[in-house]
């Protein structure tokens, strides 16, 4: 079951900050949701292979060809900050 | 007034021009969409340019392409080059891609005009369109109610006759449910039938592109053009795409077997929805179908298994949004004042809305060490068992008939603060995605609040043709496309 500590851990893994009010509300909601998820334990799944993709698929091979995708300048134009053809981020190493 | 593809093409044959039709559509959108909020952005310049090309082609005696000049709108999950693609999120509110999703370039090659980008729940997470950063899209039949979700704007714009056809995505019902709430047809093809390259990802093993229109034939005309193998998406199937456009004639249902799910008939269905379902079963029977009871014994666990898979995949997919190369970057993240982790955390905390955060947190919980076996893996095992049950049912029937949701459209704010209750409403749609099946929602009637009711048809993988056959019969029986909302 989820508690304050597991919620905090999940928030850290998710790179999300929760204030105290959000934490309280989310904890209560997630307890209910996970309580519902716990019903799955009633189903006997011994020996059942987990299914990750519902439609059967084969490996796909293609030729290793070079083709033009998009202009690097255009790609960089999406970035919040750019300097000398590089994406700029705050200094993170002292 | 926007009509079916064939109605539109007839109008052109009688002398209307594509440019005039396109301009009229924008005028109508500007008049009607202020209150409905079915569009996030309009694509006027590109649309008129494309309509002009269609006019020139006709003038030059060139042959018509399959969707020549047809007025489409697309959910804001689809990358359209040079057009804002927000996924309904603050995270991507200024994002302008430089390339077209495969389905968008195929749509353009087929001659279609893209009017604009439809409103949606943020990252397609929601069933009411209320989680959109751009505000909710309202129901065109009654504006105190929601359009549904997550592809609410796409359903609303077709129902309100603002676009002829539209694109949505369906991860757990996000095409079929808003189609039901808004009184349009909604098709979710088989997983792998249609490329998702260039479509914002939510849950990769469940996501599928789908379509809305007023007529059953039009979602199939659209699907035919867009289906098939794409080298940019390895999950697309190389199975041959049937020529649905050559099979749009109504045929009776002699020899056609329709399954009624025992477990669905004993649930708490709204009275009007139950009556609509019974009437639809009767209609198919009258047209020659044999009705057979089938059982999906694990269906009660569908919502839990679905939300575990969907949130786990979402947590992974959405980890790409860190505010470095694109997307929202916090003003607080000034140079040298934060660590790298704090930088990501600031960008993500500001960029994502409440529902998206809740799902990322649930997903990372289900995937974290100590819980992955009990939750994520268990859900995937149950996913296999649910798929087996569907496969067993389809050994006996050609299609299954079911409700889309237990009620008609929800009131605005009905589920504020009640996420579990909202999740549980997806009971009739989510297992179709878990099993990779195609589904179709066909509108049949309205209730006393003037709210539409749709009925769901489900077929085995790659058997969309069965949905077409049964869907045409339901449509012919109830002729809901004749009903027009007063917007």
**Domain count for chain B:** 1
**For residue B368, is it within any domain?**
no
Helices H, strands E: what count in chain A?
A: 3, 2
User: Per mean pLDDT, which range of B146-160, B333-347, B380-394 is the poorest?
Assistant: B333-347
Residue whose C-alpha is closest to residue B446's, from B159, B241, B212, B207:
B159
* Percentage of chain B lying above the pLDDT 70 cut: 99
| CB proximity list for A14: less than 8 A, separation 6 or greater | B315, B348, B357, B360, B361, B364
**For residue B109, is it within any domain?**
yes
The predicted pLDDT at position B27 comes to 98
| Cβ-nearest to A80 among B298, B323, B335 | B323
CA B134 → CA A5, B76, B88, B167, B358, distances in Å? 34, 11, 7, 18, 19
B128, B138 contact by CB (below 8 A): no
**For residue B49, is it within any domain?**
yes
Helix H segments across B139-227? 152-159, 176-182, 216-226
d(CA A84, CA B214): 52
**For residue B221, is it within any domain?**
yes
CB contact under 8 A, B346 and A17: yes
Q: Which residue is catalytic, options B50, B166, B174, B407?
A: B174
pLDDT band at B173, cuts 50/70/90?
very high
| Cβ-nearest to A30 among B99, B343, B362 | B362
- For the cut 90, the answer to whether the pLDDT of residue B485 exceeds it is yes
User: Per mean pLDDT, which range of B156-160, B237-241, B264-268 is the poorest?
Assistant: B264-268
Question: Over the stretch B60-86, which tens digit does the pLDDT of each residue have?
Answer: 999 999 999 999 999 999 999 999 999
Residue whose C-alpha is closest to residue B224's, from B206, B208, B209, B244:
B244
Residue whose C-alpha is closest to residue A49's, from B192, B387, B190:
B387
- For the cut 90, the answer to whether the pLDDT of residue B11 exceeds it is yes
Q: What angle do CA B274, B278, B279 make, to 5 degrees?
A: 115
The predicted pLDDT at position B335 comes to 63
**For residue B399, is it within any domain?**
no
Check if B75 is active-site: yes
Three-state DSSP state, B299: helix
d(CA B475, CA B97): 38
| CB proximity list for B264: less than 8 A, separation 6 or greater | B296, B299, B402, B403, B428
Question: Over the stretch A82-91, which tens digit does the pLDDT of each residue have?
Answer: 999 999 888 8
pLDDT band at B413, cuts 50/70/90?
very high
The predicted pLDDT at position B1 comes to 62
- Chain B contact present for A5, CB below 8 A: no
Average pLDDT over residues B20-42: 97
- Chain B contact present for A10, CB below 8 A: yes
Distance from CA of A22 to the nearest CA of B (A): 9
pLDDT band at A75, cuts 50/70/90?
confident
Task: Number of A to B CB contacts under 8 A, please give it.
Answer: 167
The predicted pLDDT at position A71 comes to 84
* Percentage of chain A lying above the pLDDT 90 cut: 64
B300, B382 contact by CB (below 8 A): no
Question: Over the stretch B103-137, which tens digit does the pLDDT of each residue have?
Answer: 999 999 999 999 999 999 999 999 999 999 999 99
Q: Which residue range forms the structural domain that includes residue B107?
A: 5-256
**For residue B52, is it within any domain?**
yes
Model confidence, pTM = 0.97
Partners of A79 on chain B (C-beta within 8 Å) are 324-326
Check if B50 is active-site: no
d(CA B137, CA B147): 6
B192 token code pair: 């792998």
CB contact under 8 A, B358 and A26: yes
**Which long-range contacts link A60-65 to residues 24+ away (Cβ below 8 Å)?**
A60/B234, A62/B231
Q: The CATH number of the domain where B69 resides is what?
A: 3.90.1300.10
pLDDT band at B447, cuts 50/70/90?
very high
Partners of A57 on chain B (C-beta within 8 Å) are 192, 234-235, 237
ipTM (interface predicted TM)? 0.95
CB contact under 8 A, B336 and A11: no
Interface of B with A in 376-435 (CB under 8 A): 377-385, 387, 417, 419-420, 423-424, 433-435
Partners of A2 on chain B (C-beta within 8 Å) are 365
Helix H segments across chain A? 4-13, 20-37, 72-76
pLDDT band at B336, cuts 50/70/90?
low
**For residue B122, is it within any domain?**
yes
**For residue B210, is it within any domain?**
yes
């Amino acid at each position: 079951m989820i508690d304050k500590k597991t919620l905090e851990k999940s928030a850290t893994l998710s790179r999300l900050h929760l204030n105290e009010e959000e934490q309280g509300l989310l904890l209560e909601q997630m307890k209910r949701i996970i309580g519902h998820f716990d019903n799955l334990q009633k189903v006997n799944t011994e020996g059942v292979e987990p299914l990750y993709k519902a439609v059967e698929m084969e490996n796909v091979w293609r030729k290793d060809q070079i083709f033009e995708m998009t202009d690097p300048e255009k790609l960089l134009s999406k970035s919040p900050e750019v300097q000398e053809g590089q994406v700029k981020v705050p200094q993170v190493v002292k | 007034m926007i009509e079916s593809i064939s109605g539109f093409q007839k109008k052109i044959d009688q002398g209307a021009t594509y440019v005039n039709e396109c301009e009229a559509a924008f005028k109508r959108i500007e008049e009607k969409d202020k209150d409905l909020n079915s569009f996030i952005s309009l694509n006027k310049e590109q649309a008129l340019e494309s309509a002009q090309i269609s006019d020139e082609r006709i003038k030059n005696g060139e042959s018509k392409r399959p969707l020549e000049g047809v007025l489409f709108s697309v959910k804001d999950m689809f990358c359209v080059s040079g057009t804002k693609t927000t996924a309904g999120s603050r995270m991507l509110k200024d994002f302008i891609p430089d390339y077209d999703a495969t389905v968008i370039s195929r749509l353009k090659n087929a001659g279609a005009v893209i009017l604009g980008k439809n409103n949606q729940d943020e990252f397609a997470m929601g069933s009411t369109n209320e989680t959109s950063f751009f505000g909710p899209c309202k129901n065109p039949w009654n504006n105190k109610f929601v359009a549904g979700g997550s592809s609410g704007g796409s359903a609303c714009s077709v129902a309100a006759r603002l676009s002829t056809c539209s694109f949505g995505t369906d991860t757990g019902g996000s095409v079929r449910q808003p189609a039901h709430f808004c009184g349009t047809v909604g098709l979710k093809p088989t997983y792998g039938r249609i490329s998702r390259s260039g479509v914002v990802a939510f849950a990769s093993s469940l996501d599928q592109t789908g379509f809305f229109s007023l007529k059953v034939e039009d979602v199939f005309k659209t699907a035919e053009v867009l289906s098939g193998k794409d080298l940019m998406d390895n999950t697309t199937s190389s199975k041959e795409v049937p020529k649905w456009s050559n099979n749009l004639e109504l045929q009776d249902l002699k020899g056609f077997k329709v399954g009624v799910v025992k477990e669905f008939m004993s649930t708490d269905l709204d009275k009007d929805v139950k009556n609509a379902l019974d009437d639809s079963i009767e209609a198919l029977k009258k047209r020659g179908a044999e009705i057979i009871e089938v059982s999906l014994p694990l269906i009660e666990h569908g919502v839990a298994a679905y939300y575990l898979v969907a949130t786990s995949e979402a947590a992974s997919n959405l980890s790409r949004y860190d505010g470095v190369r694109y997307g929202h970057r916090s003003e607080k993240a000034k140079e040298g004042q934060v660590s790298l982790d704090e930088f990501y955390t600031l960008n993500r905390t500001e960029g994502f809305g409440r529902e998206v955060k809740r799902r990322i947190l649930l997903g990372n919980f289900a995937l974290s060490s100590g819980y992955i076996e009990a939750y994520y893996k268990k859900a995937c095992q149950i996913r296999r068992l649910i798929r087996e049950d569907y496969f067993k049912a389809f050994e006996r029937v050609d299609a299954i008939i079911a409700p889309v949701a237990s009620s008609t459209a929800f009131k605005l704010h009905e589920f504020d603060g009640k996420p579990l209750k909202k999740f549980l409403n997806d009971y009739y749609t989510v297992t179709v995605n878990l099993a990779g099946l195609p589904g179709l929602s066909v509108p049949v009637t309205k209730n006393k609040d003037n709210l539409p009711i749709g009925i769901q048809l489900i077929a085995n993988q790659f058997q969309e043709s069965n949905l077409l056959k049964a869907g045409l019969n339901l449509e012919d029986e109830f002729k809901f496309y004749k009903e027009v909302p007063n917007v």
